[in-house]
Amino acid sequence: MKPFAFVLIFSVLFVSNTCSEVAQKKDPELLQCFHLCRQQQAYSESEKSECREMCRQYIKEKHRRGGACDTKVGETEKEGDEYPYVFEEKHFTSVVKSALGEIQLLQKFNHSLLKAIENFRLTVLVANPRAFFVPVHWDADSVIFVAHGKGTISLVRSEKRESLNVRCGDILRIPSGTTVYLINRDNNEKLVIIKLLQPVFTPGVAETFFGVGKESFFKAFSDELLQAAFKTESSRLHKMFEGSGEPIIEASEEQIRALSDHEEGGIWPFSESKGTINLFEQKPVKSNDYGELREVSPKEHRQLEDIDIGLAFINITKGGMENPFFNSKSINIGVVNKGEGYFEMACPHLSSGSSSRGTPISYRNVNAHVKRGSVYIVPPGHPVITVASKDQNLELLVFQINARDNKRFPLAGKNNIWKQIEKEAKELAFGSPWREVDEVVGKEDEDWFMKGPSQIHQEKQGGGAYIRMKTE
């Protein structure tokens, strides 16, 4: 079964039918799903049959749980949710937690609308000053971003160890199976790391393997085999591998100095590429008084090329907004690093009404207030607008999946796509003289970031139109 084609089918099929309509024997949504399966020319007959069966299961499951009627954005993994694009603090689980730090894991992207990213997991690591995280490895490739503070990360394979001093803005790719340990080398500030994991064995499941501590994986082996492997008595082995018993330990000043005695950034240990890329040192792709966009693409950086993941950092000035746009290929996973704001996104669905011309496609407004720690998903092709609150900047870290050769298409502003259309096509499409169309689509002269509703409202308080800032 071709997963991306099926995601596209279901992007169209999530509709706002009432529960009674879903229960109809000849569900128009089911018929439309069958039609879309037949239209997939790249499918073999067996794949079309599998597609139709998945349509039946989808309708059956939706009917069983009473339909997905008017669910709220943000309640993302409960059965019945239509638009699972926003995650908040309640959707994270602490997998490691102590007075010295914490590792939080975001729930799975297991909704049918998120199948294209179901094999990714997001974690946030917070290390208090002088915290040391014991050696661990994962069955997943990972990309980390240092969101706050500074630390030292050590990467170990059988052939070598490389230690890298990292600071705010650094990006590092860690291959699956690499043993990792780290320390917060600051006496005052917390170290915060955001990590995107791509499991290599079970889709959507990244297993953690602790070599040392009360949960050490060595405890799973028989004493006989351990004694043979290490040529040491089992009692001594158990005591040694249990260590302090905790996954996070407080280090002394002397230990911190010894562990962090390295150059900033270090050297990438398993290739010829530089160890870290600092996102804040990249030249802005877009920048004006209303915001700034910096980006690291897999096309330009070898560490990210084979996993096809890029990263972007967006800082929208308070009261400003990002140009309405859509991505050609990339799936964006946005994490709010600082500030507050909101976003609106146009999502396709089928109208519940019927007509002689078939069931028409329309678009639903998906919107949510976002704040520090919020995570939201923007699929490719989906037009989106992001706005900072009137009181503070909105800082976003964006993981871009399928980033290679992705293009952003602006829908407003200085270089929007409507300006490229011939005047005859404008008149046919818009039903207005092309000069009138150009007066509208060419009015905004900012390139990517622009004044938001609250800024425009402040300018017009003395009269003129009132634009209300929309929040949840």
Q: Structure tokens of 19?
A: 């529960």
Euclidean distance between CA atoms 116 and 3, whole angstroms: 7
User: pLDDT by residue for the chain (472 residues), tens digit each?
Assistant: 455 455 445 544 443 333 333 344 456 567 667 766 765 655 677 777 777 777 777 666 655 544 333 334 444 344 344 568 999 999 999 999 999 999 999 999 988 889 899 999 999 999 999 999 999 999 999 999 999 999 999 999 877 888 999 999 999 999 999 999 999 999 999 999 999 999 998 888 888 999 898 888 998 899 999 999 999 998 898 888 888 888 999 999 999 999 988 655 544 443 333 578 899 999 999 999 999 999 999 888 888 888 999 999 999 999 999 999 999 999 999 999 999 999 999 988 644 444 445 556 788 889 999 999 999 999 999 999 999 999 999 999 999 999 988 999 999 988 888 888 898 998 898 899 998 988 888 877 788 999 988 877 776 665 443 333 333 3
CA angle 277, 278, 284 (to 5 degrees): 115
Domains of the chain: 3-64 (no CATH), 86-277 (2.60.120.10), 282-413+448-459 (2.60.120.10)
| Residue 246 identity | E
- Upper half-sphere CA count for residue 166 (Cβ side, 13 Å): 34
What single string gives the DSSP state of each residue in 49-68?
Answer: HHHHHHHHHHHHHHHHTT--
Q: Which residues contact 38 (CB under 8 A, 6 or more apart)?
A: 48
Q: Centre a 10 Å sphere on the Cβ of residue 91 and count the other Cβ atoms it contains.
A: 20
272-276's contacts with Cβ under 8 Å and 24+ in sequence apart are 272/302, 273/301, 273/302, 273/303, 275/162, 275/164, 275/172, 276/164, 276/166, 276/170, 276/171, 276/172
Nearest-angstrom CA–CA distance, 29 and 350: 8
The pTM of this model reads 0.77
**CA-CA distance, 448 to 287, in Å (whole number)?**
8
Q: Return d(Cα 270, Cα 415) in angstroms, integer.
A: 41
Q: What is the pLDDT of residue 123?
A: 96
Beta carbons within 8 Å of 39's beta carbon, 6+ residues apart: none
pLDDT at 9: 52
> Which of 345, 385, 407 is closest to 113 using CA atoms?
345
CB count, 10 Å around CB of 207? 12
Residue 437: per-residue pLDDT: 86
Half-sphere exposure of 78 (CA within 13 A, CB side): 14
- Please report which residue ranges of 165-233 form alpha helices under DSSP H: 223-230
Q: What is the model's pLDDT at position 23?
A: 40
* b/e sequence 232-256, b meaning 16+ C-beta within 10 Å: eeeeebeeebebeebbbbbbeeeeb
Residue with token string 């059956």 = 60
